[in-house]
Structure 1
Amino acid sequence: MVTGKQTELIPIPFPPYQIPYSSKFTDSPAFIYFVAAFSVAGLYSIITSLLSGLALLKPGYAKQLVSHFVVVDVLLLGIVAAAIGAAGGVGYIGLRGNSHSRWTKICNIYDTFCQHLAGSIAAGLIASIVLVLLILLSFFTLSRKIPK
């Protein structure tokens, strides 16, 4: 998403003039939120990996860490899902436009930029599915550690 940038010549009403106009992810708050949410999720995964390695060295803290991880993982899943939804909504408007509000589609002009966006949103969706599976794994690990 961050590397997606494209500059095209856009015709203005007085031919034969054309002006260069670039499109990048910072043009939309939804795309900025997408990048920020996945950056936070990536940083959190690094921190949890380090803490999980520490918990292997000191097993007494493992149950507490896993319970905290499950709660924060679910919170991050909500943030990541909201980011995917926001970026997907803006991307869909860029792809199809909206005739009711007179927003024209831009993916016919910025084709490479839209391909970068689509790839980023698809990768984000796959990452969120993996996050759901990891949350389920953490939950089942925690439930096995609780005595019955």
Structure 2
Amino acid sequence: MELVKDVNLTLVLRLFATFLLVLSACLVAFDSQTKLLFYSILRKASFRDLNALFVLVCIDSAAAAYNVLQILRCSIFPSPKVDKNLAWLCYLLDQAVVYLAFAANSAALQGSLFAITGQNNFQWMKLCNIYTRFCIQIGGALVCGFIACLVLAVISALSAYSLFRLYSPKHFLQLKAK
């Protein structure tokens, strides 16, 4: 009974994380803004202008695909017998996805901060003064990405709980019944 509750909670969390990851990737990938600069130059800002945003789209898409595969695995093969090797593989992959998603979001945040504040030493101007809608949408995508990272961390903790429960004595890592 407890295994079924863990699986259902994990499925709901994976669905929510997948939604947030897809939302974050779509907000960044489809965001662009064109401005007329110096009365004659048309300049378009897109996610391809900053490599960290391009990497963010790729990693968020891959993390969402991984979660979809895990959702399919849990819903198609809900086995009551848990294999230790499969539990280890899921735990390690969950850890890798959390760390990659957090690293990509952090790198995109750092690059976006340069767009907000500029950098006088390198003579980089503040781009968010020119492309305000673009920057606001990227900010929303980063918020969605960091919330997804928190949800992925909870999923990883549940994965660790499921794994290490296999190695514990009968009542050591069992949750108390209410």
Give the TM-score, by structure 1 length: 0.89
The residue type paired with residue 86 of structure 1 is A
The size of the alignment, in residue pairs, is 142
Distance in 1 of aligned mates of 2:107 and 2:168: 42
RMSD of equivalent CA atoms: 1.4
Conserved? CA contact 1:38–1:80, under 8 Å: yes
CA drift of 1:33 comes to 0.2
Look up the match of 1:14. Answer: none
Distance in 2 of aligned mates of 1:54 and 1:140: 22
Look up the match of 2:115. Answer: 94
Alignment of 1:103-118 (within 5 A): 103-118=124-139
The residue type paired with residue 19 of structure 1 is I
Secondary structure of the residue aligned to 1:60 is: coil
Alignment of 1:1-148 (within 5 A): 1-11=28-38, 17-56=39-78, 58-148=79-169
Look up the match of 2:14. Answer: none
Give the TM-score, by structure 2 length: 0.75
1:57-84 deviation digits (Å, cap 9, x = unpaired): x333454333211101111112111101
% of aligned pairs identical? 28
Query: Whose relative contact order is higher, 1 or 2, with alpha carbons under 8 Å and at least 6 apart?
Result: 2
Distance in 2 of aligned mates of 1:147 and 1:89: 42
Conserved? CA contact 2:94–2:159, under 8 Å: no
